[in-house]
Structure formats: structure tokens, C-alpha cells
Chain A
Amino acid sequence: MGDGPDPALALRRELPPEITYTVFNSESELKTIRALIEMSLSEPYSIYTYRYFVYNWPELCIFARHGERYVGVIVSKMEQKSSYARHGYIAMLAVEPGYRLLRIGTKLVEKTIEAMLLEHVDEIALETELSNKAALRLYESLGFIREKRMLRFYMNGVDALGLRLILSSNAKLQ
């Protein structure tokens, strides 16, 4: 996220663009998701992975849009883990470089948490690269804790951190 002194970016920060948020509603948006995610992630995902998430949980695939332009996306899922616990999982989050530092990512995560709370999710988990300080700061500001370090988790050999936000006392202690 270490962008250079981009004048357009500076201007955008001074005059924050009006961002709207919409959920996934058509196949044509799949390409957009893929383009946004591949912009910022090291690992390739097959089209099946994208489809698995967005068609099972379209309401948890939320876009940030600046007018017609898609500038950010979050992709998540929810599952009944046992009779008393519902788990949420954030799979992907990306914001276009020119639109970073505008709290769009935070907003997308907040909207996801709110959507999950409506479904009485007890805890939300995700993984992120150890070196991704921006993501860590974002999630920690929302109350996530880093629970687990996973050595050589990614295909490029980088370690991951397992993060978790506990929303209710139902969440079973591991």
C-alpha cells in the first residue's frame, strides 16, 4: 500500500469520492471480482473458487463502487459449524490502489460483519499474510485478534496469520 505521491490520490483524499456499496447480483460482475482480487493477491484462484463463494453467499459478496466503477470487493461465507455455533469466514478483500486509505476496506469488512450478525454468526475468521501490515491494522482496529501463525502457508512460502473476531460467547474456545 506504499503508493507514491500520486496527485490524483491526494486529491481524492482531500475530496473523498462518494462510494456506494452493492451486493453481487449478476454473472457479469464475476470478471470484475477476479480483476480486483488478482490485482492485490499473490496466489491465483481458479474460477471455481470464485463461483463457490459468490453463488453460495451472494449477499456476502459486497462491492464498493465509485459511480459505475468497481473499486473494491469483499468475498465471504457463513457456515453452521455445530448446533450452537455459526462461523463466518472472510475469503478475499481488495481495494483498487488508487482508492486506498479512504477506509473503503474497513467499510466493506464492517458491512460483512453486520450482515453476518443478522444471521447470528458467533465468530469470523480469516487468514492474511504476516507481512500485510495494512490488512492487520484494518482487522485489528475492528477487534480481530491474531490467533495463530501458520508457517509457509502460502504457495510462495510466506507465513500466514489466522485472525478471528469473536462476536458471542457461544463461540467455542479452541
Chain B
Amino acid sequence: MHGTYVGEQPTDFQAATAAAAAAARERESNSNEPDEWSLSECGFADNDVQRAIRGGSAAEDITQYPIHGWVDVTQEFHDACAELLPGELAQDMLFGLFEAMSAIEIMDPKMDVGMGFDKFDLPPPSFEAAVAMGAIKLDGLEPAELIGIFDALFACLVSWLEGNSMDQVLFTCLYLHAPSQIQDKPLRCFCIAVRNLIVVIKNIIILAAVNEEEDFQLYGNSALLGAEKAQPSTIAGLLKDVEDELVRKCKQLPEAAENQCLMAVVHRLRFMRHLFQAIYQVELMVGASSAEEAVNEIYKNLNVASELLPLIKRTIDRGTQPVEGSEAPNPMGFSPRIHDRSQPPTFPRSIKIRERPASYQFLEEMVARFKYACKVIRYKDYYSALNFFIEYSRKSGHCILSRSVLQSLFSSSIRLAHGKQSMKQFLRHSVMVFNSPPVLNPKHPVSSDPKVVQHLETFFRYCINMNTFNQFIRLCGFNRARQRDKLAHLIENFDPLQVDAARLDSLMNQLANERAMEGNESHATALKHSTYFSTWVLYNCFRAMLIYLMSGFELELYAVHEFLYIYWYPYEFLVGFLVSALTRTENLLLAQEEYAEHQSRIQSNSGGGGSGSKNRKAAKPKKNKKQQRPYRQEIVYYRALLSLCGGMYKAMGALTKDGRVRLPMSKFDNEEIRYNRRFSPFVPLTSPPPVSYAEFRNIRDHMMQNSAEDLYSYAAKYFDQARNVLESIQNPEQEILDLLQIARTNFVVMNVLGRGHQKEVKRQPEFDFSKHSYFPIIKIK
């Protein structure tokens, strides 16, 4: 019932061993130097042992007594054993569950990697051995052999990105162990490219730091990687040369079939070149002078790469294919078990290298994800960037490299990483874009008021120190399961920010009153700005809360009998809060707009204008009004969500009342404890105030006084409402269409159940979340 993650070596243990060996050699060469101090200072070794250790060359013969201080304890051991029952273990304090689970039974093939070798127990061939045996060719490879190796290497790359150890996938390819010794130029260049690609990908993932042990294994054979120096900047040139050579060769070939085979090799080299360039440029973006230009370059490479993929997929069968039943992804060049013995000391994990068509499918989708990630460059403020990250995570959440690439592109794009724009500027700009508080407008005279400057400075510095906003965006880069855990902590961090934002808002209003007393109307109006900052903070907090709660459906964390209170909270509170925060923001923007219009009218009246200018002004506000409803779409979306949550809440009430929901046995179950646990991340918040279980129970009990028929019809009404809202959306995206289908179907199901369908069979319906991760289609079997 339980397992453990394979413990990662904290540092590369082979490297560590190599270092230790080197240190030992070092010591040996200086052996005439006395180093008695180290032993005597240890203080624990007795004289015999000390003498034994100092014994030098005699240390080879360990059977000699008493040089080594061996003491026979056989009798004592047997005596001690006699005190134990058969099977009883003498357990050391430090031998815990982890050690017990990592311990292996020697000779058991399921645990002992050594048992995986063939019956002669020959070590798997190394590069040198394979060359000596003639098992791998270093020169004059046929196009089919090249295609086979290239395709197998792409499959290994994909399997590495899916979380396997690079030693057990990529470095089972012997060619990657010593690319410089390969004489065949296309193969050599391709292998050098793969080697460099590994380094570049590793760097991107390490820098983005959104990986977890279950996503990606960073550690692997650094000794192999380090053997030949990485020179990523030369790769494109190398590959281009080979491609050109092969294309020339191709033109001289009379046979069309041979020609096509060679072109299939060229396409793979070219795909590698563009993929490599795109990924390498992502790594370089941190230092790029213009993010836009760099992204354009990346995008161009990705386009070429994606155009080549269909050609490559069509020619997979032209390469040598893996032998049926063999673990090697290609007949030549791979030694699948070569690193089995150097793996961390736990049970062997089953390694499945993806099949070739599936690997190219993965690469095709990955290239598409990278292209999509490039769009992040358009989003320069917090609101739109966060939206993009949330959306991206939903679509690309499973691929570690795609997630890491997005992080790199974004931090380069907003220039936070290397200080060209400070986080403070970014947040200031973001609030400005979100609800445009007049005090943030640099043109406004009030913005230079020293008190205003000081308060704003304090607030933004606080936001940065808390790191909450930044964290929210970064968090979207983690895998979906980890995101939920991290969100729980993030939500807590919003509380001090809310308090500070509310304080800032009230300070601004206080200043406004002071200025009004002084008779400075325009300053007073600018400062009297109600709740700009707290609305901004709250809105983001509400979003984190909603994502947290609803992600439980996606991760399948809620039992059916829990759906009722989970849907109740967003229906009763959360979604409504989001709608009102956005509506308030739009009203603030509108009020500003009207004020500005009013001001300009006063100005133009005082300046006196002709009829022509009047006409222009009449047209302008109209245009602005349209612009000042930037949240309309989102508000409509949340209205639909509100009705769907209401529908689900009432539906769960109806189904429970109708006896169609399996409830836990009351012996150990405690609904209050479950409720408190589910909403525990919201408890530290001042706003919105936590809703107690008693409060929930009152409201539910009140609802449950209705008959099941009535409850079904209420639920139907909500689903119908949701349908109306969703149908009002013009040019709906796929998500909206999916929600629409859910609303329509559930509306029908509620009506059917309300009419007493299957009244006798009290079976729990099926809740099918395949259309949308937040809402199921309710299905009666």
C-alpha cells in the first residue's frame, strides 16, 4: 500500500567516489609524510587498529592476526542470538522504515539489479568493448542505421523528459559515451548535438526550478557529460555542414529510393538543429538585449522544426527497428543495462523507453507548447501574465521542459531576472493596468506628494518582501499535484498583504480629506480612491482560493459525499466575491473616466471650441466606455461558474435527500473534521472571514427541509441559468462549449430525476469529469 520515491543522490555519487579515489591516490603519493595526527585525534581506534591502519603495504592481507586487530566474536554472537525469538530483528536506532524498504534481498530478481544480467552474468558491453567486439560501427553507417539510431535517441530524450534517469535512457547509447571517436560524420555531429542538448535542457530546468523529484531526474552521469567539453554555440554550424554535405551527395545519387533514405537522415539532422537552436536560445535569453528579438528567433526555429516533423514521422519505417523482445531501443549502439549497477541503491525501476511514433508525437506537441509559451512576451502586467500562466499550466502542466521554458521566457521578458526592471516597477505597473489608481499616475501632481510617495513605497516594498505575487506566478509552473500543496501556503501569505493594502487605502482617503480641508479639490479627488489596492490584493487572493478548491476535483481528491460542501462555498461566497471585486474595479475605472471627461469638458468649455471639436469629443467617450469594461468577459464567465456551482450544490442536496449518495459510516467519520480540513488553508485569512462548520450546517439543514423533487427542480433551474449565461457568450472557446454541454445535460438529468425516474433503485449516479475538471456531467446508469 505504500512506496517511496527513489531517493536522489544529493550530489553525483560517482563523481564523489571519483573524487575520493583521486584524494586517496594523492595521499598514497605523499605516503612518506606522517599523518598520525588524524588517527590519534580521532580517539576511538584502539592501538591494534591504529597499528593495523598504519601497517601500509601489509594492509593487503586481511587474514593476518593480530595486525588488523581481528577478534573472534562468533560465540558471543551466537549467545546473543539465543536471546532472540526466531525471526526477531536486532534493530539499530537508525534502521527505520526507509532503510527497511531500501534493503534488498540478494538474488531476488525483483530487488537485486545484479540478477537482471544474462545467464553468464557478463557485464553489459561498454563503448570500448562494443567497438572491440565489432558490435558497433564507427564509420560508414548506412542511412537506415543512422535513422534507427537517431529515432532511438529522440525516444530516449523524450523518456528522459518524462522523468527517467538519463543514465538509464540516454546514456544506454554507447555512441554518446565518446562522440569524438565516431568517424561517421552525421552520427558524430548528431551525438555531439544530443550531448550538448542534455546540458542545455538541464540548465533550463535547474534555473526555472519548478521541477520536483517525480517530474525529472537532474542527476546522472556527470562524469560522462564532462568528458567532452560542451560547446553549444558550435552545434548549429556542425549540423548545417553535415546537412549540406548530405544534400550534395543526394543530388549525385541516381536511385530515387536511396535518395529518399538520405533525405530522411537530413530531415532528422535539420530537425535536431532547429530544436537545439530554439532550446539553446531560451537558455541564452537571460542575457539577450531584446527579449522580443530573441523570442522571434526562437519562434522561427520552432516553426521549421514543426514543419519537419510530419516528414520525419512518415519515414520512421526506413530506419532499423528495435528487435522484438529486446530492451534496446535499436539493434545497434545501445547497451540497456550498462548503468544498472551505478543506480541509487533501491529496487530497480522499470524503464520504458517510448516507442518511436509516440516519441515524435510528444516532440510535436512539445514544439507546439514552446510556440504557445512564446506568447508570454505579450503579457507585461501581473493580471494578464497570471491568466496566461494559469491557462498554460492547464494545457501543458505535465511536461517539465515546457513548464521550465515558460518560466525562462517570462522572467526574461519582464526583465526581472537581471534587474532591468525591478519587481516594484512591475507590480506598480500591474496595479496601474488592473484598476489604475490615480495616485499611481506619474502625471498627476499628487503622485509627487512626499507622503503619498512614502506610503506607496512601503506598500510595494512589503509586497516584494512577502514575495506572494511573484510566488503565485511561479507556482503555476509546478506540476498540478504540487501546485495544490503550494497554493495552500500561498493563500495564507495573502493575509498580511490584505491588511497592508487596506491600511494604504484608508491612508489615501485620510490624505484626501486633509487636501479637501486645504481646499485642493483636484488632489482630494485623486486621493479619494476608495479601495484600489485592497481590491487588487483581494482579487488575487480569491483566485488562488478558487483554484485551490477546484483543483481537488481535477486531482480526484473529493469523495462524492463531499461534493456538497465543496460546491457550496464558491456558490455561496467565493465566486460572488470575484464578481464583485471585478465589478467594483470596472466601476472605479468608469468613475475615473467620467471624471476625466468632466474635467476635459470644463477645460474645453473654458477654452471654447468649434462644432468640429465637439463632434470629436462626442465620439471619443463612446470608444473609451467600451475600453473601460475590460473584465466583462471574465465577469460573465464567473456568473456561469456561480450558476454551475449552485446547480451542483442543489443537485448534491437533492441526491443526498433522495438516498442516492453513499454516506460514510458514522462510527469513525466526523463531517465537521472533514469540512475543517478541506477549508483549512482559508482559516488564517481575515478577509474573507472563515465560515464555520456550524454556519454551513445551518444553511444546509435549511435547504434540506425541501423535498427531493423541489431540490431537483432548484438544481435544474441553476443549470438552466448557467446555460443562458454561457449561450450569451459570443465566439465561445472550447471550454465554454464544454461547460454549456454540462449545463444542458445536467438540466435534463435533474428534471428526469425530479419526475421520479428510477425511484426504486437508489443507485449513486456517475460523476463524469471528462469534459471539464471542475464540473461533472451527472449520469444515471
Binding site for B on A (CB under 8 A): 27, 30, 41, 43-49, 51-52, 55-56, 77, 90-93, 110, 113, 126-128, 130, 135-137, 140-143, 145-157, 159-161, 164-167, 169, 173
The contact sample of 24 A-B pairs, CB cut-off 8 A, is: A27-B85, A41-B1, A44-B108, A44-B111, A44-B347, A55-B87, A135-B1, A141-B662, A142-B667, A142-B669, A145-B562, A145-B674, A145-B677, A146-B558, A146-B559, A147-B677, A149-B557, A151-B482, A152-B214, A153-B5, A155-B349, A157-B352, A164-B677, A166-B673
**Cβ–Cβ < 8 Å partners of B347 in chain A:** 43-44, 155
**Cβ–Cβ < 8 Å partners of A128 in chain B:** 1
**Docked complex Cα distance between A142 and B668 (Å):** 6
Q: Which of the residues A46, A136, A148 comes within 8 Å of B481, measured between beta carbons?
A: A148
Query: Is there contact, CB below 8 Å, between B86 and A91?
Result: no
Q: Which of the residues A27, A56, A135, A137 comes within 8 Å of B86, measured between beta carbons?
A: A27
Known contacts A110-B667, A140-B664, A146-B556, A166 near B108 by CB under 8 Å: no
In the complex, the chain B residue whose C-beta lies closest to that of A117 is B668
Query: Is there contact, CB below 8 Å, between B677 and A173?
Result: yes
Nearest chain B CB to A145 CB, angstrom units: 5
In the complex, the chain B residue whose C-beta lies closest to that of A140 is B559
Query: Is there contact, CB below 8 Å, between A93 and B111?
Result: no
In the complex, the chain B residue whose C-beta lies closest to that of A94 is B1
Query: Is there contact, CB below 8 Å, between A153 and B87?
Result: no
**Docked complex Cα distance between A128 and B87 (Å):** 28
When A and B form their complex, which 7 residue pairs have the shortest distance between CB atoms, in order from nearest?
A: A143-B669, A27-B87, A52-B100, A149-B555, A44-B110, A149-B481, A48-B100
**Cβ–Cβ < 8 Å partners of A156 in chain B:** 350
Q: B629 in the interface, Cβ–Cβ < 8 Å? A: no
Among residues 675 to 710 in chain B, which have CB atoms less than 8 Å away from a CB atom of chain A? 677-678, 680
Query: Is there contact, CB below 8 Å, between B2 and A126?
Result: yes
Q: Which of the residues B96, B485, B558 comes within 8 Å of A148, measured between beta carbons?
A: B485
**B1-33 to A contact mask, C-beta < 8 Å, 1/0:** 111010000000000000000000000000000
Nearest chain A CB to B587 CB, angstrom units: 38
Query: Is there contact, CB below 8 Å, between B87 and A155?
Result: no
Q: B103 in the interface, Cβ–Cβ < 8 Å? A: yes
**Docked complex Cα distance between A49 and B484 (Å):** 31
Q: B163 in the interface, Cβ–Cβ < 8 Å? A: yes
Given A135-B1, A143-B668: 11 more A-B contacts, CB < 8 Å: A43-B347, A44-B347, A46-B105, A49-B101, A51-B89, A146-B556, A146-B559, A147-B677, A149-B556, A151-B214, A155-B3
Q: Which of the residues B2, B97, B482 comes within 8 Å of A52, measured between beta carbons?
A: B97
Q: Which of the residues A44, A48, A153 comes within 8 Å of B214, measured between beta carbons?
A: A153
Among residues 627 to 673 in chain B, which have CB atoms less than 8 Å away from a CB atom of chain A? 662, 664-665, 667-670, 673
Query: Is there contact, CB below 8 Å, between B668 and A147?
Result: no
**Cβ–Cβ < 8 Å partners of B482 in chain A:** 151
In the complex, the chain A residue whose C-beta lies closest to that of B489 is A174
Q: Count the B residues whose beta carbon is within 8 Å of the partner chain — how many?
A: 53
**Cβ–Cβ < 8 Å partners of B103 in chain A:** 46, 48-49
Query: Is there contact, CB below 8 Å, between A127 and B1?
Result: yes
**Docked complex Cα distance between A92 and B100 (Å):** 15
Most buried by A among B347, B349, B555: B555
Q: Which of the residues B2, B557, B665 comes within 8 Å of A146, measured between beta carbons?
A: B557
Query: Is there contact, CB below 8 Å, between A130 and B678?
Result: no
Majority secondary structure of chain A interface residues (helix, strand, loop or mixed): mixed
Query: Is there contact, CB below 8 Å, between B668 and A51?
Result: no
Nearest chain B CB to A45 CB, angstrom units: 7
**Docked complex Cα distance between A165 and B674 (Å):** 9
Q: B427 in the interface, Cβ–Cβ < 8 Å? A: no
**Cβ–Cβ < 8 Å partners of B555 in chain A:** 149
Query: Is there contact, CB below 8 Å, between B668 and A113?
Result: yes
**Docked complex Cα distance between A140 and B661 (Å):** 13
**Docked complex Cα distance between A126 and B2 (Å):** 7
**Docked complex Cα distance between A155 and B674 (Å):** 31
**Cβ–Cβ < 8 Å partners of B558 in chain A:** 146
Q: B416 in the interface, Cβ–Cβ < 8 Å? A: no
Known contacts A27-B85, A27-B86, A160-B3, A47 near B668 by CB under 8 Å: no
Nearest chain A CB to B475 CB, angstrom units: 16
Known contacts A55-B87, A155-B350, A173-B677, A49 near B481 by CB under 8 Å: no
In the complex, the chain B residue whose C-beta lies closest to that of A76 is B1
Q: B396 in the interface, Cβ–Cβ < 8 Å? A: no
Nearest chain B CB to A137 CB, angstrom units: 8
In the complex, the chain A residue whose C-beta lies closest to that of B680 is A173
Nearest chain A CB to B547 CB, angstrom units: 15
**Docked complex Cα distance between A160 and B4 (Å):** 11
Nearest chain A CB to B404 CB, angstrom units: 16
Q: Which of the residues A55, A91, A143, A160 comes within 8 Å of B664, measured between beta carbons?
A: A143
Q: B479 in the interface, Cβ–Cβ < 8 Å? A: yes
Q: B725 in the interface, Cβ–Cβ < 8 Å? A: no
**Docked complex Cα distance between A157 and B100 (Å):** 21
**Cβ–Cβ < 8 Å partners of B670 in chain A:** 143, 166
Q: B130 in the interface, Cβ–Cβ < 8 Å? A: no
Q: B72 in the interface, Cβ–Cβ < 8 Å? A: no
Query: Is there contact, CB below 8 Å, between A127 and B3?
Result: yes
Nearest chain A CB to B567 CB, angstrom units: 16
Q: Which of the residues B105, B214, B215 comes within 8 Å of A47, measured between beta carbons?
A: B105
Most buried by A among B3, B87, B215, B559: B3
**Docked complex Cα distance between A149 and B479 (Å):** 11
**Docked complex Cα distance between A127 and B4 (Å):** 10
